[in-house]
Structure 1
Amino acid sequence: MSASQIDAVALDGAGPLYDQIRRAIRDLILNGAWPPGTVVPPEHALMERLGASRMTVHRALGQLAREGLITRRRRSGTIVASPPASHAMLDILSIPEEVRGLGHEYSYRILARRDGRAQRPVVALFELGRAVEVVHLTVLHFADGVPHVLEERVIHLATVLAAGQEQFAAMPPGDWLLQNSLWSQAEHAISAVAAEIDQAQLLAIGEGEPCLLVERRTWNQREPVTAVRLLYPGGRHRFIGRFGPYGKV
């Protein structure tokens, strides 16, 4: 633990002290300042730095542990937890894993890219602000050489600055984001649509054929990370989820 690390825990003065401590540490984790495996300052150091009682600090760390952000061990101390891979795969879809899980060979092609201020049709499509700077990508994913899903995505450069320099040659944008950005909230919708002529040509289906449209947005705190539209040929796909009375299994 370095002095700069403990100094980074800054309170905002709003609400109970334990909750200020919880938010301060949570924000350091979610914004990437404290990546998985980082040693969290011990309770006595936080007490001295923040002028808090042991009970107050203990309560804040206990809440962070219940939220899954930190792991507390008696002998080795407290560390920032790694995000559970199963959660990421269930909620934020990895298309390569999806294709390989079906027993097919995966490949992809970047069809179009534009960096900078979002153009008017993109602003309307993704409900963006007028002056938002984005990476706008169109990607076609293949399973055994057959079009699998058509992706249209915007990545917010204000939140994911590194995307401006990334060529997405080694992995598609969605998987790159899973490895190089953080998210704390996601919105997900699925609807049935008819393929437009240009979409149908890319997906090798007939114009007007039914498709499944998966739309997803993610945020880190209140800052938008990415928005994506995934168009699947309806006749080739179905989505299956298994769950119990307490959630996914």
Structure 2
Amino acid sequence: MATARVSKSANGKAQAAPQALHQRIRADLEEKILSGRWPPGYRIPFEHELVESYNCSRMTVNKVLSGLAAAGVIERKRRVGSFVAKPLVQSAVLHIPDIQAEIAKRGEAYAYELLTRKRRKATKDDLERLGIDKSCDVLVLSCRHIAKGRPFALEERLINLDVVPPASEIDFTRVPPGTWLLGHVPWNEAEHRITASLADDVALKALTLKKPAACLVVERRTWRKNKIITSVRVTYPNDLYQLTARFTPTGLRS
């Protein structure tokens, strides 16, 4: 079993061994990316710039960038540079889908309607949905996604404005909140909950369904460095959407 290397200080207390240089550099770059300071699409400084900034060898920088690329955090383009990777938008169970991109990929006409937008102090129910105890400001959004002229999904979303302040400046009348978040806010953890349910009155009206109407409901929470970004509930008519994942013994297969 592997054990952590420790050393002892002058007073005899054990101290953890310092991180290797490449680990410290990687942690620093990851912090810039996950904090949002370097958003998706941002060009990472060139290798020679990082060598100068961190006073290290080019081999060390290359090791760091190769590790970040292998983890899917950055994309390396030959003769162009390295860029913060855009989050995946595949429609697999363990990825965060972009509804607008999904519908376009199917070759269907897409339309979007913002139904409600409200900023408020988080209510007790809001905090429960976000899974936090501390009070915060939230942006409450409800919108309808349309494919080929038919309501495709009802999106009901909370955005934690303490973590994503720029969202308060977006009116979301033209761009869906999910699309905007995927393009502007890095995330490193997500949780899905998928259920079959009868549509409630809000969903019946938004999706123009008749009672009783069976629906697929996807509830998802997304975090960045242990801070909740958003909680969303997306309701689909049961005949319009399916979630598919192909597995190998070691996990998802793309």
Counterpart-to-counterpart distance in 2, 1:60 and 1:187: 28
| Structure 2: 5+ residue stretches without partners | 1-15
Counterpart-to-counterpart distance in 2, 1:58 and 1:46: 14
Q: What are the equivalent positions in structure 2 for 1:29-68 lying under 5 Å apart?
A: 29-35=33-39, 36-40=42-46, 42=48, 44-48=51-55, 59-68=63-72
- Structure 1 residue 181: deviation in Å? 1.3
- Conservation of the 8 A alpha-carbon contact between 1:70 and 1:78: no
- Asked which structure has the greater RCO (Cα within 8 Å, sep 6+), the reply is 2
Alignment partner, residue 154 of structure 1 = 158
Alignment partner, residue 99 of structure 1 = 103
Equivalent of residue 217 in structure 1, options 209, 217, 221: 221
- Conservation of the 8 A alpha-carbon contact between 2:86 and 2:183: no
Amino acid at match of 1:137: L
- Conservation of the 8 A alpha-carbon contact between 2:47 and 2:62: no
Alignment partner, residue 90 of structure 2 = 89
SS of residue paired to 2:183: helix
Counterpart-to-counterpart distance in 2, 1:95 and 1:237: 11
| 1:67-92 deviation digits (Å, cap 9, x = unpaired) | 2334668x9596344336xx333422
Counterpart-to-counterpart distance in 1, 2:74 and 2:112: 36
Equivalent of residue 248 in structure 1, options 230, 248, 253: 253
Counterpart-to-counterpart distance in 2, 1:22 and 1:158: 26
1:69 has 2:70 as partner: no
Amino acid at match of 1:45: E
In the alignment of these two chains, the number of paired residues is: 231
SS of residue paired to 2:72: coil
- Conservation of the 8 A alpha-carbon contact between 1:196 and 1:208: no
- Conservation of the 8 A alpha-carbon contact between 1:46 and 1:57: no
- Structure 1 residue 46: deviation in Å? 4.5
1:118 has 2:119 as partner: no
* Structure 1 residues 144 and 66: alpha-carbon distance in aligned structure 2, compared to 1, 3 A threshold: closer
Instruction: Tell me the C-alpha RMSD between the 2 structures.
Output: 3.0
- Conservation of the 8 A alpha-carbon contact between 1:116 and 1:135: yes
Counterpart-to-counterpart distance in 1, 2:17 and 2:138: 33
* Structure 1 residues 229 and 70: alpha-carbon distance in aligned structure 2, compared to 1, 3 A threshold: closer
% identity of equivalent residues: 32
Alignment partner, residue 109 of structure 1 = 113
Per residue, is there more helix in 1 or in 2?
A: 1
Counterpart-to-counterpart distance in 2, 1:89 and 1:240: 10
1:172 has 2:167 as partner: no
Amino acid at match of 1:133: D
| 1:91-141 deviation digits (Å, cap 9, x = unpaired) | 221111222333332112211121121123333344343512110111111
* Structure 1 residues 182 and 201: alpha-carbon distance in aligned structure 2, compared to 1, 3 A threshold: same
* Structure 1 residues 62 and 116: alpha-carbon distance in aligned structure 2, compared to 1, 3 A threshold: same
- Structure 1 residue 231: deviation in Å? 0.6
Q: TM-score, with normalisation over the residues of structure 2?
A: 0.76
* Structure 1 residues 21 and 193: alpha-carbon distance in aligned structure 2, compared to 1, 3 A threshold: same
SS of residue paired to 1:235: coil
| Structure 1: 5+ residue stretches without partners | 1-12
Amino acid at match of 1:248: R
Q: TM-score, with normalisation over the residues of structure 1?
A: 0.78
